[in-house]
Structure 1
Amino acid sequence: MNIRDVAAAAGVSVATVSRVLSPKPGSQTVRPETRQRVLEVVDRVGYRPNDLARALLQDRTATVGLVLPDISNPYYPPLVRGVEDAASTLGYRVMLCNTDRDEEKTATYVDTLIKTRVDGIIIAGGSTTMPMLRDVFEPYRTKVVVVGRHELEYPSIQVDNVAAMGEVIGYLTGLGHRRIGFIAGPASSITVQDRVEGYRAALRAAGIGYNEDLVREGDLQEQSGYDVAGELAAQPTRPTALVAANDRMAVGAMAALTDAGLRVPADVSLVGFDDVSLASYIRPALTTVSVPTYDMGGAAMELLAREFEEGGGTPEPGARVLSTTLMVRESCAAPPR
């Protein structure tokens, strides 16, 4: 069955059927009884519109691509939900791409999204390898919004990771900690770079020298947090507090400290970052920085939709910065005597 067959069966024109099935506001101009008759025919014959043909005709697919580095990271599902909820409200569908932080895979996914004529792309997860995407985007008019701080000249939704980490270190020094270890993430991540910068700046502000022996690089997963925390805990003069660049590594670190016979927070205080759902359910409950990932996803989709409405060429770069919150729970205390 094609659209002409549906129109004949419903006793209306092809244009009327098109308006009824269109996601655009113009579909509401069809009289309710006519609309109902068309939908009944569509349901009876099992007609499905040709989205590709419609996209070529209207130069619009009502679809956006969402590119993520690691969907297994519990940081990202709330962000995806924020994008999807906003997209559904605005009349868009979302295509999800997981890149595993692989540069070639990222470029391939973005190229595929462009070839399938998505109206826009949201890229989450900052990386120093992202500038290679400029060459992919250059020949096209695809709208782009990024989540996090990127080296890409596109509108973005961000949080201030430097200030947030400064608040964490200020909290720990306020408790009396002077030997504060840091479990960082991959140096290729701009988000991690910002958190390292915030760590160093806050130590300076507190009059504490930077000690590279207290800093280790993890991979943002639990096992690396476990391994690095074990190394730091084994030092002759171990840290009295540990800060992890994300909650997954903080959870691994807590397990390592417990296995080493140390108590959190009586022997070592522990702070994470992101406030994933698990953070408040482990014991002791993890003190961490709450990042509004759901709101960031929704804001990114709304910003992208605004770019569609305004049209034109490449949008001017600019950042909307959302607030973070230090969630003080049970994993921190004054340093042991």
Structure 2
Amino acid sequence: MLRAAQELDYRPNLMARSLRTKVTRTIALVSDTLASDPYAGRAIQGSLAAAVAHGHLLFIGETEGNPVIEEKLISDFLDRQVDAFVYASMFTRYVRVPKQLKGRPVVLLNCLTRGARPAHHQVVPDESAAGSAAADALLGAGHRHHIHLVGTPAPNVFAARERLSGIRAALAEEGAKLAGVVECDWWPDSAYDAVSRALDDGLAASALICLNDRIALGAYQALRDAGRSVPGDVSVVSFDDSELAAWLRPQLTSIALPHYELGWQAVEKLLGPPSDPAVTRLPMPVRARASVGRPPGE
């Protein structure tokens, strides 16, 4: 029988099987702008790979943050009888799981729900540990003083709050602290203007911790225009490990967002062995490059 099926190139009717078993072996990933972001798209790749490993198809829908589009997308996926959902966010933030998904298998990707006991698995980057790693990169090179943060650490931005907490904790363990904050938006032009003004006003920094790589790009340009070298005069460390980090000269030490692993782990929590809902914080690896050196004069 099996040999005959192979010779005839027989393929089972998956639609008929799903009607009989009520299992479609499909899952849906619903995100705001995750799918179209050139960096976070790696999370989609990780999700796809994990789905294939479990013999599932992955549908992807993007809402652009529009609740009407989100409701329509979820309804369409439910009409197609998908087995489970990954609910994802481009930026790590707190969310409310849509009412349509109540009682259904759901894992949150790069987002969290408030409350002491999570109702769903939640997979996020360990931003606090990343902040500690950024500070440790400078401490390990001998920096103890004149370390400045670049970027506005808005308390309502999860990554900013967590990164700053980790930075301060790691510095405090060594009896050090931030010398100040150069506030700016998280974009190169704003960082360039802010760092340039700070340097003109006499900023004496031996190291800068930039809250993302775009800020680091603006800081590099401001330092160059002020005649400061990286890392000879000022060491620079950053977060995200976007393509900018490898393009800059000298190449930028950056704490990587584990996009692929986030996507993989979210689907693994969804389709793997059952376990109690919990928050899983994934490590953010340090990509050590040439932008960190000894403090000037040492």
* Pair 1:181 & 2:149 matched: yes
2:25 alignment partner in structure 1: 62
Distance 2:75 2:183 in 1: 35
* SS in structure 2 at match of 1:214: strand
Residue 87 and residue 270 in structure 1: after superposition, are their counterparts in 2 closer, same or farther (change >3 A)? same
CA positional deviation for 1:75: 3.5
Structure showing greater relative contact order (alpha-carbon pairs closer than 8 Å, 6 or more residues apart): 2
Unaligned runs of 5+ in 1: 1-29, 43-47
Aligned residues: 288
CA positional deviation for 1:233: 4.0
Structure whose residues are more often helix by fraction: 1
User: Equivalent of 1:95, from 55, 59, 63?
Assistant: 59
Distance 1:187 1:35 in 2: 61
Specify the code of the residue in structure 2 equivalent to 1:150.
L
Specify the code of the residue in structure 1 equivalent to 2:109.
V
* Pair 1:216 & 2:206 matched: no
Output aligned runs, 1:281-296, within 5 Å.
Answer: 281-296=247-262
CA positional deviation for 1:38: 5.1
2:283 alignment partner in structure 1: 323
CA positional deviation for 1:239: 3.2
Distance 1:291 1:37 in 2: 48
Specify the code of the residue in structure 1 equivalent to 2:23.
R
Compare CA radii of gyration and give the structure with the larger one.
1
Residue 197 and residue 116 in structure 1: after superposition, are their counterparts in 2 closer, same or farther (change >3 A)? farther
2:95 alignment partner in structure 1: 130
Unaligned runs of 5+ in 2: none
2:221 alignment partner in structure 1: 255
Q: Which moved more, 1:75-84 or 1:143-152?
A: 143-152
CA positional deviation for 1:103: 6.1
1:300 alignment partner in structure 2: 266
* SS in structure 1 at match of 2:251: coil
* SS in structure 1 at match of 2:239: coil
* Pair 1:207 & 2:172 matched: no
Residue 106 and residue 305 in structure 1: after superposition, are their counterparts in 2 closer, same or farther (change >3 A)? farther
Q: Which moved more, 1:77-86 or 1:168-177?
A: 168-177
Output aligned runs, 1:163-174, within 5 Å.
Answer: 163-174=129-140
What is the CA deviation profile of residues 269-317 of structure 1, one whole-angstrom value per residue up to 9, with x for unaligned ones? 211223234423432111112343322322221221126xx5xxxx732
Sequence identity (%): 26
2:166 alignment partner in structure 1: 198
Specify the code of the residue in structure 1 equivalent to 2:158.
I
Residue 31 and residue 196 in structure 1: after superposition, are their counterparts in 2 closer, same or farther (change >3 A)? same
Distance 2:238 2:175 in 1: 23
Distance 2:55 2:285 in 1: 32
User: Equivalent of 2:8, from 17, 22, 37?
Assistant: 37
Q: Which moved more, 1:264-273 or 1:321-330?
A: 321-330
Distance 2:5 2:288 in 1: 59
Distance 1:275 1:281 in 2: 11
Q: Is the CA contact (8 Å cut-off) linking 2:40 and 2:90 kept in structure 1?
A: no
Q: Is the CA contact (8 Å cut-off) linking 1:214 and 1:232 kept in structure 2?
A: no
Residue 324 and residue 127 in structure 1: after superposition, are their counterparts in 2 closer, same or farther (change >3 A)? closer
CA positional deviation for 1:73: 4.4
Distance 2:184 2:34 in 1: 18
User: Equivalent of 1:150, from 95, 104, 112?
Assistant: 112
Distance 2:101 2:198 in 1: 43
* SS in structure 1 at match of 2:112: coil
Distance 1:31 1:281 in 2: 55
TM-score, length of structure 1 as denominator length: 0.70
TM-score, length of structure 2 as denominator length: 0.78
Cα root mean square deviation, aligned: 3.4
